[in-house]
Amino acid sequence: MKVLITGGAGFLGQRLARQLLARGRLNDGAGRPRAITELVLVDVVPAPGPDDTRVRVVTGDIADGALMRGILDRDTSAVFHLAAIVSSQAEADFELGMRINLDASRLLLEICRELGHRPRVVFTSSVAVYGGELPDLVLDSTARNPQSSYGAQKAIAELLLNDYTRRGMVDGRVLRLPTISVRPGLPNKAASSFASGIIREPLNGVAAVCPVSPDLRLWLLSPRRATEALIAGHELAAETLGANRAVNLPGLSVSVGDMVAALERAAGRAAVARIRYEPDPAVERIVRGWPAAWDASRALELGFEADADFDAIVRAYMEDDLAPGGRVRD
Amino acid sequence: MKVLITGGAGFLGQRLARQLLARGRLNDGAGRPRAITELVLVDVVPAPGPDDTRVRVVTGDIADGALMRGILDRDTSAVFHLAAIVSSQAEADFELGMRINLDASRLLLEICRELGHRPRVVFTSSVAVYGGELPDLVLDSTARNPQSSYGAQKAIAELLLNDYTRRGMVDGRVLRLPTISVRPGLPNKAASSFASGIIREPLNGVAAVCPVSPDLRLWLLSPRRATEALIAGHELAAETLGANRAVNLPGLSVSVGDMVAALERAAGRAAVARIRYEPDPAVERIVRGWPAAWDASRALELGFEADADFDAIVRAYMEDDLAPGGRVRD
């Protein structure tokens, strides 16, 4: 069977690709384990890897119907739709966010529907679908009231995926991800980019800017757990999920101050000294609007796992992603 | 100023048009009372009235950009977007529902954005945005979890209107309407069509089919109150509404059995004898999935009003809509 990852050049797409290739198989639309014969990585920039004969790299615009119809076929039983215009960028460029986060998501569902074989579609959503006046603990039954265009577009794509699933056009699964930390690579245009940068940059001997107050609480998940969750979310039987296809994944509720303290425990005071606080009210407004925690009991019952603590997240980054040349302590 | 009503040929559009013309003025985008100089009624069929020099009837497809760009201009300070493909029809014809309920709503918002003068846009949404496992009393904070394509499309349009409003592109207001009863005219393709038919048809001496059980509870609003709510929703100051532009309008929670009892009190046993029960599981499934009541305290604080009781709703229908030739008692 064929597997498609949109956003395949991104850090999560790349990590998922490696895990899928190592695993070698996935359940097909009917829930039967099948060998992965082809793994298509589509993104606006060429996916750098993995180096494997099963991998096919496609570079282009996922809102382009001709491109996408050339990639998806009746053998494509698994789609991981990770591509997105991230929060601050979708706020700055409304058209681009609408085109990728909404139109491309709808196109993907339409093509699956045309093909008619009901592929499993795993779609990543976000804390950003919540906002406004929130309870201390967000529940599955809490209204989505996004306060950013990114959040609105993700909430809309969730509704589409749920309706296409209800109608039997796809077998969709929405995984609402906590903020991912520690994301490897360079800063990006997500409002939450700092949530990785304030750990990653100091560990690599580089200065980091923190645009929010130390008391701000974030709801965090490591790349390791996020990748596991994508695969586990795909493998779940449709009956187990039932009518509600959105799962709020487990996270850790950690303040920025707690994160910095964990950095100090892992890499000393010199690392912490590389963080400069430069308040950015626009970033603070967006991120403070997201839930600092949600009830993940359904996800835990379904077998999804959280990280043990933020120290474990820092360690995982150092094991998985710290470049051999990266320095931890001066 | 110019006022646009989409779905202007429908019973609610027609009633709203009459009320607006009698009133003669509305607040403009800046909240200043202005005379209504033109009232454009657009619909897929020609609006039959009202006969007034201020009325302009446009017949066409509201998903047609050229048509809509020819109607909306910088003098259009008020838009009542009532046009919709109703629930059972949107379930039967997925493309049509998506095109009118989603694409045409988005087009309308885009044109308003292009014009740049931030018109007030009043959008009617529905009980159908709720579904799945619901509390006995739906709250403003309850998740929208639609179980029909109509409900999903309405929920998506709500999210779009909220984001366009947040970004200052329009000054939007979402009024979630209870099921309207007693709607005049002919049966339509709404799953809730019977909620008017079982009262209207017997009052007109015609047989009616009831596809649901007498114990089914509905959340009802009369056309009178719905029309008042549309105007009141438009007139509210933006600051009064704040960031959350969706208002759950007050309704009456009434069982089908209670409705029939009110019919008997108004028109006798012969009228009730015109109702034949013919269960339709598809209709029952859709309607039973909607909330039988919601917390309308925010709407009541904002000045919206519910009907006194279902007897008053029946009387209002008889006063406003019963044809002079319509017979009430044999």
- The phi and psi torsions of B155 (rounded to 5 degrees) equal -65, -40
Residue whose structure tokens are 């800063």: A187
**Closest CA of chain A from B168, distance in Å:** 12
Q: How far is CA B273 from CA B46, B198, B329, in A?
A: 36, 11, 12
In a domain, B169, yes or no: yes
Q: Tokens at residue B197, please?
A: 């038919």
Distance between CA atoms of residues A170 and A139, nearest Å: 26
SS (H, E, C) A33-53: EEECCEEEEEECCCCCCCCCC
Distance between CA atoms of residues B170 and B173, nearest Å: 9
Name the amino acid, one letter, at A177: L
> Across-strand partners of A124?
A175
Q: Give the pairing of strands A25-27 and A33-35.
A: antiparallel
In a domain, B128, yes or no: yes
Residue numbers in A near B149 (CB within 8 A): 163, 167
Question: Can the peptide bond before residue A50 be classed as cis, meaning omega within 30 degrees of 0?
Answer: yes
Name the amino acid, one letter, at A213: S
Suggest the residue from B145, B148, B153 to mutate for an interface test with chain A (most A CBs closer than 10 A). Answer: B145
Mean pLDDT of B67-78: 97
Q: What is the pLDDT of residues B276-297, one digit of tens each?
A: 999 999 999 989 989 999 999 9
pLDDT value of residue B242: 87
Position A51 pLDDT exceeds 50: yes
In a domain, B126, yes or no: yes
Reported as a pLDDT band with limits 50, 70 and 90, residue A263 is: very high
Q: How far is CA A283 from CA A189, A266, B57, in A?
A: 10, 27, 47
Position A328 pLDDT exceeds 60: no
When divided into structural domains, chain A yields a total of 1
| Residue B7 CA, distance from chain mean position | 10
Mean pLDDT of A211-238: 97
Nearest to B8 by CA among B71, B66, B70: B71
CATH of the domain at B143: 3.40.50.720
Catalytic residue flag (residue A150): yes
Q: Please provide the DSSP assignment of A183-239 as one string.
A: --SS--SSGGGHHHHHHHHHHTT--EEE-S-TT-EEEEE-HHHHHHHHHHHHHS-HH
Distance between CA atoms of residues A139 and B291, nearest Å: 19
A273 Cβ neighbours under 8 A, 6+ residues apart: none
Please, what is the average pLDDT of chain B? Answer: 95
Question: Can the peptide bond before residue B50 be classed as cis, meaning omega within 30 degrees of 0?
Answer: yes
pLDDT value of residue B330: 44
pLDDT value of residue B136: 87
In a domain, B133, yes or no: yes
In a domain, B57, yes or no: yes
The enclosing H or E element of A5 equals strand A2-6
Q: How far is CA A166 from CA A29, A61, B20, B126, in A?
A: 15, 28, 40, 19
Q: How far is CA A60 from CA A54, A56, A122, in A?
A: 19, 13, 20
The burial class, CB within 10 Å (0-12 / 13-18 / 19+), for A20 is buried
Position B329 pLDDT exceeds 60: no
Put simply, whether A166 touches B (Cβ < 8 Å) is yes
Residue numbers in A near B143 (CB within 8 A): 140-144
When CB atoms are compared, the residue of B133, B149, B159 closest to A163 is: B149
Q: What is the pLDDT of residues B122-179, one digit of tens each?
A: 999 999 999 988 998 999 899 999 999 999 999 999 999 999 999 999 999 999 999 9
In a domain, A78, yes or no: yes
Position A197 pLDDT exceeds 90: yes
**Closest CA of chain B from A297, distance in Å:** 16
Nearest to A245 by CA among A171, A135, A144: A171
pLDDT value of residue B325: 58
Q: A234-258 burial, b for 16+ CB within 10 Å, e for fewer?
A: bbbebeebeebbbbbbbbbbbbbeb
In a domain, B329, yes or no: no
Residue numbers in A near B159 (CB within 8 A): 144, 146, 152, 155-156, 159
Within B114-199, strands assigned E span 120-126, 171-177, 179-180
Position B227 pLDDT exceeds 70: yes
Please, what is the average pLDDT of chain A? Answer: 95
pLDDT value of residue B324: 64
Torsion of CA A175, A180, A184, A187, to 10 degrees: 110
Supply the range of the domain harboring residue A54. 2-178+221-248
pLDDT value of residue B29: 75
In a domain, A6, yes or no: yes
- Let me know: does A87 contact A128? Beta carbons within 8 Å: yes
Q: Would you tell me which residues 114-133 of chain B have a C-beta closer than 8 angstroms to some C-beta of chain A? A: 132-133
Position A329 pLDDT exceeds 90: no
Q: Please provide the DSSP assignment of A60-98 as one string.
A: S-TT-HHHHHHH--TTEEEEEE-----HHHHHH-HHHHI
Name the amino acid, one letter, at A143: A
Nearest to B256 by CA among B228, B224, B279, B282: B279
* Cβ contact, residue pair A162, B152, below 8 Å: yes
Position B323 pLDDT exceeds 80: no
- Let me know: does B29 contact B103? Beta carbons within 8 Å: no
**Closest CA of chain B from A165, distance in Å:** 11
Position B257 pLDDT exceeds 50: yes
Measured between CA atoms, the residue of chain A closest to residue B152 is: A159
**Closest CA of chain A from B219, distance in Å:** 20
Q: A114-139 burial, b for 16+ CB within 10 Å, e for fewer?
A: ebeebbbbbbbbbbbbbbbebeeebe
Q: Tokens at residue A23, please?
A: 């695993």
B119 Cβ neighbours under 8 A, 6+ residues apart: B29, B76, B77, B78, B79, B112, B170, B171
Q: How far is CA A184 from CA A193, A209, A292, B75, in A?
A: 11, 16, 22, 52
Suggest the residue from B141, B149, B161, B298 to mutate for an interface test with chain A (most A CBs closer than 10 A). Answer: B141
Residue whose structure tokens are 């187990």: A240
Q: In what order do the strands lie in the sheet with A217-221?
A: A179-180, A217-221, A252-255
Position A99 pLDDT exceeds 50: yes
Suggest the residue from B159, B166, B170, B248 to mutate for an interface test with chain A (most A CBs closer than 10 A). Answer: B159
- In terms of phi and psi (left: phi > 0; alpha: psi -120 to 50; beta: otherwise), the region of A228 is alpha
Nearest to B185 by CA among B326, B41, B50, B16: B326
Which of B40-49, B118-127, B194-203, B316-325 has the lowest average pLDDT? B316-325
Q: How many CB pairs under 8 A join A and B?
A: 58
When CB atoms are compared, the residue of B133, B141, B155 closest to A159 is: B155
DSSP 3-state of B135: coil
Q: What is the pLDDT of residues A293-327, one digit of tens each?
A: 999 999 999 999 999 999 999 999 999 988 665 55
Distance between CA atoms of residues B18 and B246, nearest Å: 25
